[in-house]
Every structure is written in C-alpha cells, then in structure tokens.
Amino acid sequence: MMKRVLLPLVTGCAFLSTSGCSSVMTHTGGHQGYYPGTRADVTMMGSDETSWAMTPLLIIDLPFSALLDTLLLPYDYYRQGNQNTRDRIKASEEHNLALSNGVDIDHVPPMTATTHSQKSSPHKK
C-alpha cells in the first residue's frame, strides 16, 4: 500500500521539480522578452556547443518551459518597461562618476563607449 502511494508521489515531485527549468532560470534575471525559457531551450538545442547528454533533457523541458512561459506572460508584460539590474547599476555608476568629476548632473549627456583609436592623441601630428 505504502509503495503504491509513495513511488508515484516521489516520481511526480521529481518530474515537477525539473520541468520548466529554462523558464525559471530566465525569469530570475532581467527582462528578456516573451517566452524566454522556450527560446533558451530552442537556442541550446540548435547550438553546436550543447552536449549530447543535454539535448534529450532540453527536449523534455521544452513543453514545460512553454507552459510556464505562457502562465508568466502577464508578469513579462508587467516587467516589459522596467529597467533590469544591469541598467540600474550602469545609470548609478554614470551618476556617481559625474558627481566625482563635479559635473552638473541634471545636464549630463549619456556616456558612450569610445575606443582607443577614437580618442585624440596630443602626440599625433
């Protein structure tokens, strides 16, 4: 009796804990658009860098990630306009850099990345 109840319960819990793994992983970071877990599964399946042992797990995970991504669509829509952590940190660093250089913060243009070749050198003739 105990074996008939315990085995399906343990199997079901193990199955549910591994399902939708890509969706859970992609929703813990910044906003990556809609259906990020499903897109991650498909991208990894098509990649040459994916191990042969990982591909069957991705195939099993794909429908569960698609289901979980569908259930999380309202959450993705809500997060769509919000800044992710990386953008907030970059804005904070730009703000602190402007403060440390004595620049009027309200009138600072956004910082752009310049390469070494774009910078003017006083040694060039």
Each residue of 11-63: pLDDT tens digit? Answer: 766 665 555 677 877 777 777 788 888 898 889 889 888 888 888 888 888 89
Residue 45 belongs to a domain:
yes
Amino acid at 65: S
Residue 48 belongs to a domain:
yes
Write the pLDDT tens digit of every residue in 70-106.
Answer: 998 888 888 777 666 677 788 888 878 877 777 666 6
Q: How many domains does the chain fold into?
A: 1
Residue 102 belongs to a domain:
no
Residues whose CB is less than 8 angstroms from the CB of residue 22 and which lie 6 or more positions away in sequence, other chains included: 37, 38, 40, 41, 44, 58, 61, 65
Residue 47 belongs to a domain:
yes
**Structural contact between residues 35 and 66, judged by C-beta atoms closer than 8 angstroms:** yes
Whole-prediction pTM: 0.52
pLDDT at 76: 84
